[in-house]
Structure 1
Amino acid sequence: MANDSNAHSERETFIAEQGETPDGPIPVSDSGRHANLRSRLMDQIRKLSRSTQFVMVAALILGLTMFFVGELVSERIERAAVQSAAEAGAHYMEAFLEPYVQEMSRDNILSPQSVGSLDRLMDSRSLKRHIVSIKIWRPDGTVVYSTDKSITNRKFPMEEIAHALKGNVVTDLEDLTQEENEFERNMNVPLYEIYAPLREISTGKIIAVGEFYEKADSLEQEIKRVRQQVWMVVGAATMAMLTLLFFLVRGGDKIIQRQQVALRMRLQEQNRLHDHNATLQHKMSTATQEFSRINELTLRRIGADLHDGPAQLLTLILIRLDDLAETCTAVDQETMETIRGAATDALREVRELSRGLALPEINNLSLQDELHLVAQRHEQRTGTKVKVTLGALPEDAPLPFKLCLYRFVQETLNNAYRHARGQGQAISADYMDGLLHISVKDSGPGMSADAMMVDTAGRTRLGLAGLRNRVESLGGLFSIDSSADGTAVNAQFKL
């Protein structure tokens, strides 16, 4: 039983450990959930139209702006209304209180007669409708008269009367937190307190400060009504601006959407035309390469026909002339020699044409071997030297490019031999960033300006025009640099 319990305990431990493996559910932190919520919210916002997004942002910004404007205007209006009511009440109370405090300029205290007169004044029904409490302060902060008799002749902090002692009318709405305001707080009615300076009539000197508390029911109602009017105006202006902005942005959004649809259609059309042009270009490239191959086969056939036809016939003519020379007279011997020389020259030219038209087998040659081969054949045929400088060239290239390169170098070397007498013949080639650069140079006198110009028939020299057409037919670039120091014929291909 002990073994069974131990095994059971081990299984529970193993299962518990497996439950804690990374394969179990990984708790998501609060920051991760908030990030997911923000991501989903941003995705939902991006799906909305531009006009809706703009109105949302404008409503937020304009709403906050108008809120602060409304709060500022309401606060200013409330302050102005309270201050105006306070000044009016202060002037009203000064007219009642100043005659009773004149004696304070001498005795610094109110006589019992003045206190009784003030009590009777406070008992009047007309005054009680507005004023609920009165205090008269000495400049040292002592209350010399109060409706609440419990604080008479008590001294309190002077923060409240300090401004009034400077000649200002001070008011505060519902600020009854001071110790001397316990009587007014117990009334449980909205009040605002007013501090007004009381002056000596003869000199205008401030001899006391009168404080009275006026009911704020009507004032609060007026402030509330003004606030409502302000917020109605601000809200109406905000809604009007938002509506106007919405329709303006919505109109612009519709124009943008129409333009996007038009641009999308144009883009689709351009893509279709691009695909069509790519197809045509591929077909043209294939046709060009096939034409180059067929042209090369035709040249080989012509070369073979020249070798097997006219060359053999000229050889037979020379053999027959040798047979006839044995039986000719001395006069005819000279004629026979002339005919033999002409036939020999014709045979040599036919054989040179045949060798020029028939290319060697370059299918299995690399580009470097091919360029070395064409330079070697040119050296053998002309007895001149060709300098070959080759960089890192691709090992293989399509056959049409190989044929074009062979013909390009062969023709430019022939031109260099013909026009520059083979001076400074050089072949250079390099391959970089997918571009094959090849140049054939000589150090001859250079080409004249009119040699590269198009004549009146719209054609350049046949050899140069053939080279240019051959290079450009495979998508290459052809150029000639000629000066008094020599000529360089350049070609560039994308492999």
Structure 2
Amino acid sequence: MGLRVQFLLAASLMFVASMLVLGTWIQGRIETDWRQSAIAATGRFLDDVLGDHVGELLSNPDPGSGEAARRLTAEIGGSLGKEFAAITVWNTQGNQVFSTRRHAMEQVLPEEVRTGVLAGETMVRPRGAAFHAEHSAVMRVYAPIFNPLTGAIVAIGGADQRSGEIDRLARAESMKTWPIVGAATVVMVAFLYLLVTNAAATIEQQQAALVRQAQRARRLGRRSAVLARLAEQARHDAMVAIEKTLARVGSDIHDGPIQRLAILALRLGESDAGRGLGADMQQVVAELRDITGGLALPELEGEDLEGAIKLAVAGHEKITGGKVALRLDPLPPQVRKSLKVSAFRIVQEALSNGFRHGGGADQAVHAQTCEGYLVLTISDAGSGFPDPPPQADGASPCLASLASRVEAMRGDIFVARVEPHGARVQVLLPLGLRPARAAEAL
């Protein structure tokens, strides 16, 4: 069952229940008002019919058997069988002075009834056990009888009125409200149905549009992910290509200009005049060979990540003659070539910077993995960084070069001063193309 139908059924039930309650309340009010009107009409009837005869009745020593009583009985006789079971008159002291059925009503009025009627009220009390042979419902009405000339209350009239007809007319009148209530309910439910239908159509259209947009977003997301991986792959390939280009440039310099400079230095050294100049040229050739040796990347094709780091450490020890404490935790055997090249260059450059600025004292390298990252820590016990240490991407050319390599790999670099003296560089390189960043985990 759809949401539209569920809402419509729930709202319809709520409206029907509410209208039933409202209709029942209105019906009760109409019936009550109708009965009140009937009671007031009975009071006026008693005053109109009995008012002209009450003076003569009260003046007769035996009111119930006099000529006035007979005329009154004849005058109201036509109404007795239709609407009234009995009509009675009491004086203002509450004593019965006339009744069409003497024993049908009280001989002496209850004090609360007498007091209320003398105050001008028309009162109703439940009918007593008298006249139990009458099968129709009866209500007992008490009303004041006024003197037509003075307007003073001179007696109390009472009537046992058959209420069956009154109840029937009241119900008939109240039933007229139900078609109105039903029509109002139908109109409101129909209006609600239109509102719900329009709202449901709008919601369905918006849902369809959202589904289309979500599908389009997913397609764009997949395309973006593919493009991001292609860009990442291209970046890694570019790094490898740059290293190969540098190696080729170093090889060309070594095989070309350096060889010719070396021959020229030898020839100059054979003559006395050029012997000093030849020694200087030999020094220049040595420096150029060192430079081109740094440009030329060692063969890493057959090495894993651990082997690349060991080659960088061994090369540094060979050039400087120092000793580096190397600690290697278990490293993944298969990684991308760009990661091996970057790890080699970072260890090589960080050790070289430590040797140049810190004297190479107690140099150490520690390699480990943590949450998808290769973590390289290079430290020494030299003079260390100033306090506070410089930013990795600041003005220091050495740190800027390291930071550039790390940034190219989408990694992080941290530098710190080691107390009492020394420096530490920590680098995080992602093992995959786009792993979650784990710098906060270390």
Instruction: Calculate the TM-score normalised by the size of structure 1.
Output: 0.62
DSSP 3-state at the match of 1:180:
coil
1:48 equivalent to 2:2? Answer yes
Larger displacement relative to structure 2 (337-346 or 73-82): 337-346
Q: CA deviation at 1:207?
A: 7.1
RMSD: 5.5
Q: CA deviation at 1:446?
A: 3.5
Out of 120, 127, 132, which is 1:182 matched to?
A: 132
State the AA in 2 paired with 1:266: Q
| The structure with more helix, counted as a fraction of residues | 1
Mapped to 2, the partners of 1:413 and 1:63 lie a distance apart of: 87
Residue equivalent to 1:210: 158
Q: Are the aligned partners of 1:311 and 1:347 in contact in 2 as well (CA < 8 Å)?
A: no
Mapped to 2, the partners of 1:386 and 1:102 lie a distance apart of: 141
Residue equivalent to 1:458: none
Q: CA deviation at 1:274?
A: 1.7
Q: CA deviation at 1:297?
A: 5.5
Q: Are the aligned partners of 1:314 and 1:346 in contact in 2 as well (CA < 8 Å)?
A: no
Q: 1:352 to 1:450 in 2, by over 3 A?
A: closer
Q: Are the aligned partners of 1:194 and 1:213 in contact in 2 as well (CA < 8 Å)?
A: yes
Q: Are the aligned partners of 2:354 and 2:363 in contact in 1 as well (CA < 8 Å)?
A: yes
Matches within 5 A, 1:56-71: 56-71=9-24
DSSP 3-state at the match of 1:275:
helix
Out of 432, 443, 467, which is 2:385 matched to?
A: 443
Query: Once the two structures are aligned, what percentage of the paired residues are identical?
Result: 22
DSSP 3-state at the match of 1:193:
strand
State the AA in 2 paired with 1:340: Q
Q: 1:142 to 1:312 in 2, by over 3 A?
A: farther
Q: CA deviation at 1:86?
A: 0.9
Mapped to 2, the partners of 1:138 and 1:270 lie a distance apart of: 97
Q: 1:297 to 1:88 in 2, by over 3 A?
A: same
DSSP 3-state at the match of 1:179:
coil
DSSP 3-state at the match of 1:234:
helix
| Residue segments in structure 2 that go unaligned for 5+ positions in a row | 437-442
Q: CA deviation at 1:280?
A: 2.8
1:73 equivalent to 2:10? Answer no
Residue equivalent to 2:36: 83
Q: CA deviation at 1:213?
A: 0.6
State the AA in 2 paired with 1:195: V
State the AA in 2 paired with 1:64: A
What is the CA deviation profile of residues 427-450 of structure 1, one whole-angstrom value per residue up to 9, with x for unaligned ones?
788866556666778614747998
Out of 192, 195, 198, which is 2:141 matched to?
A: 195
State the AA in 2 paired with 1:344: A
Residue equivalent to 1:132: 85
What is the CA deviation profile of residues 184-216 of structure 1, one whole-angstrom value per residue up to 9, with x for unaligned ones?
3x2x4xx55242244686996797562321454
Out of 241, 244, 247, which is 2:188 matched to?
A: 241
Aligned residues: 418
DSSP 3-state at the match of 1:124:
helix
Q: 1:374 to 1:170 in 2, by over 3 A?
A: farther
Mapped to 2, the partners of 1:181 and 1:341 lie a distance apart of: 148
1:358 equivalent to 2:298? Answer yes
1:274 equivalent to 2:221? Answer yes
Q: CA deviation at 1:347?
A: 3.4
Q: Are the aligned partners of 1:143 and 1:155 in contact in 2 as well (CA < 8 Å)?
A: yes
Q: 1:329 to 1:76 in 2, by over 3 A?
A: closer
What is the CA deviation profile of residues 366-410 of structure 1, one whole-angstrom value per residue up to 9, with x for unaligned ones?
5xx8768756755664578989999x8865562333433333444
Residue equivalent to 1:259: 206
State the AA in 2 paired with 1:58: A
Q: 1:302 to 1:199 in 2, by over 3 A?
A: same
Q: Are the aligned partners of 1:104 and 1:207 in contact in 2 as well (CA < 8 Å)?
A: no
| Residue segments in structure 1 that go unaligned for 5+ positions in a row | 1-46, 453-460
Residue equivalent to 2:266: 321
Residue equivalent to 2:440: none
